[in-house]
Amino acid sequence: MLLSLILACTPSADTTGADDTAPPVTDGGAGGHGELDGGGVGDGGGDSAYEDPVIPGVNFDLGGAAAELTDGARVGEFLLLVGQEQTTHGGAWAFDVAGPEPVLLGSTDIWNIQWVCGTPEGEAWGTNRDGTLYELVVGTTGVEIASSYTADTVTTGVDCDGSRVAWGMAHHGAAVGRKTDPGFPGDAVRISTEAGVQDVLLDGDTLWLVTYDDIQAWDLTSDGPTRVSRLELPGTCRDVALGETWLAVACGSGGVSLVSREPTDPVLLSSYADGRSARAVDVIGDVVLVGAWTDLLVLDAADPAALRFFASEPAPASAMAVVADPDSRPSDGMTGVRAWVVDWNTPFAVELARHEAPEVRLPTQALQGAELTVRNDGPELLVLQPTFGEMGDYTLETGQSTVWDLPDDVTDLALVTNDPDEEVVLVGTTGAQGLQPGDPAPDFVEQDLDGNVWTLDDLSGRVAFLGLLESGCPTCESEVADTDAMLRETFDEESDFVALWVFSGPESHARDLGDRLEITHTILTDSDDSVRDAYSPPGTGFARNPRHYVIDRDGVLTYVATTTVPGDLAAAISSTLSGD
């Protein structure tokens, strides 16, 4: 039976005095197990001795739009969020954020807009996946399109500084120009690169380009842009933000890297990675804010040579981007910092406080009777009290982990902690509506891009990863490249492991997406959705893209996930390979 971990915060007993020999509490013990029904994420009024370092604010009201947000930017005194919608074209939403609650000023339809930049002077530009660059006007009445230009290639990240505008073009490099130049943006200078450009950052007369593999500095003062340096970085990089003396680069499962802001000789100062996927990043002072798919991460860069974890906040859906409020100045390097998390469905505000606290981390899935790893990512001692089952340790120092032996006959569990953000972690049964670990993997017959036919029998005797994806799915595109790179770097040397991506759509779209995302593993084309329907049946209540499965040597599922934490997926594959 599949167990899904749902974070809940309900009143609980004070656990700060527990020790590592403390027995687990029983049903109805700390936190009142019977009161945990429903779950959800929030900050409750428990008795933890610690205060929450990340204080969630209100959610944004998008005026009823079924938005799927992908990016955001501060534009003058306003906040601009962009993305697509489930039933219409998508667009941009402008908010007044001067008060305690964001106020929607207005929106406009823009087809599949994915990236946006803004300046303190009120300038804004955006790009969509289809190669269109938009100049946007944001004001008290909302947001409007001032002009648009359609390029001859796909576009990725965009940046603007009031003088220049730059945008990425994946494998076609990047473009940069001044909007006062004759013929701009059509005659903007093109920059060719060996690898696909994922993001751009203007830094005076330097243009920083981020590819999946590196960060490059280009000098804009010469007759044509000239590359002056290139620094390889760990992970799959896709976003960059400017600090006072360094750059913060989000690199998927490689975490976040700090790079010295020296165009001719950039140096990797430090990195932080914990298994979550760093998708987007922003900086204010010494605070690095990371959109890490499942969470907002807050990192402390007071010592750039030792970037460290400070706190996190779970995202309602997927943390696609984060925007620091430049008007919030930290009083002690942290307290008072405000930011807006561009969640896929439910954007929300946060405020930080310099409170050191424990931080509980658990995998998102487990089986009844299995061993569940619990870790303390916070700087203070973590105290644990499970309602059922036993643990190797009941107190964890920073960075320590323990194993929770789950009972095989209990369907509702809870873990009471002294983490002020997750005082009670509710473990509830799900999966009755869809495939779960322990189920046999459905058979399939599909061709790869080279015309080879694959079936479930072809995987017999090997451990297999199966990932479902499609084009037009920004969440797929933001995690597939990272997952593919993690699989390549971690498991490609395993002789009895195979990774397959299953693309829902025509072969030509699968080739395009594979090239753009630099996928190295086999792609199967599921043009009739037969694999997707078998593995993620319609109407089951599960998101159907992206979806990940691990299959053991006997054709049995050992892992099923929608929102994947790379570290959890890697652990599941390793456990399946070892036969645990």
Tally of CA atoms within 13 A in the half-sphere of 30 that contains its CB: 28
Residue 365 — very low, low, confident or very high, per pLDDT cuts 50/70/90?
low
Residue 345 and residue 376 share a domain: no
User: Are 456 and 570 members of one domain?
Assistant: yes
For residues 427 and 412, is the Cβ–Cβ distance under 8 A?
yes
Read off the pLDDT of residues 175-232 as tens digits, 9 standing for 90 and up: 999 988 888 888 899 999 988 999 999 999 999 999 999 999 999 997 889 999 999 9
Does residue 568 form part of some domain? yes
Do 450 and 564 reside in the same domain of the chain?
Answer: yes
What CATH number should be reported for the domain holding residue 401? 2.60.40
Alpha carbon 377 to its chain's center: 18
Asked if the structure places residue 368 within a domain, the reply is yes
**CATH number of the CATH domain containing 530:** 3.40.30.10
pLDDT tens digits along 46-72: 456 888 899 999 899 988 877 889 999
Does 450 map to a domain?
A: yes
Per the structure, the count of domains in the chain is 3
Together in a domain, 467 and 527: yes
pLDDT digits (tens, 9 = 90+) for 485-498: 899 999 999 999 99
Q: For residue 416, what are the contacts with CB-CB under 8 A and spacing of at least 6?
A: 12, 13, 15, 25, 29, 30, 31, 384, 385, 386, 387, 423, 424
Q: Given 290, 320, 351, which residue is the final one in a domain?
A: 351
For CA atoms 452, 458, 461, 465, give the dihedral sign: positive
Based on the fold, state whether residues 326 and 265 are members of the same structural domain: yes
Question: What is the three-class DSSP state of 315?
Answer: strand
Check residue 64 and give its pLDDT: 80
Q: What is the pLDDT of residue 425?
A: 85
pLDDT of residue 538: 61
Q: Which residues contact 539 (CB under 8 A, 6 or more apart)?
A: none
**Paired tokens of 138:** 């944001």
Backbone angles phi, psi at 359, to 5 degrees: -140, 110
- In this structure, of 224-233, 419-428, 449-458, the range with the lowest mean pLDDT score is 419-428
Q: Which of 157-171, 217-231, 319-333 has the lowest mean pLDDT?
A: 319-333
Q: Are residues 326 and 409 in the same domain?
A: no
Q: Is the peptide bond before 326 cis (omega within 30 degrees of 0)?
A: no
pLDDT of residue 372: 78
pTM of the model: 0.83
Same domain, 292 and 411: no
Q: Which residues in 113-131 are b (16+ Cβ under 10 Å) and which e?
A: bbbbbbbeeebbbbbbbeb
Same domain as 274, residue 244: yes
Q: Does residue 458 share a domain with residue 424?
A: no
DSSP annotation of 488 reads H
Domain enclosing residue 387, as ranges: 2-15+29-52+358-429
The torsion angle over the Cα atoms of residues 544, 550, 556 and 562, rounded to 10 degrees, is -30
Q: How much is the pLDDT for 308?
A: 92
In CATH, what number is assigned to the domain containing residue 250?
A: 2.130.10.10
Q: What's the gap between Cα 351 and its chain centre?
A: 20
Residues 390 and 473 in one domain: no
Q: Is residue 168 part of a domain?
A: no
| Span 315-321, average pLDDT | 90
Q: Are residues 270 and 385 in the same domain?
A: no
Strands (E), 251-362: 256-260, 268-272, 280-284, 287-291, 293-300, 308-324, 338-343, 348-352, 360-361
Looking at the structure, tell me whether residues 456 and 538 fall in a common domain: yes
**What's the whole-number mean pLDDT along residues 164-172?**
92
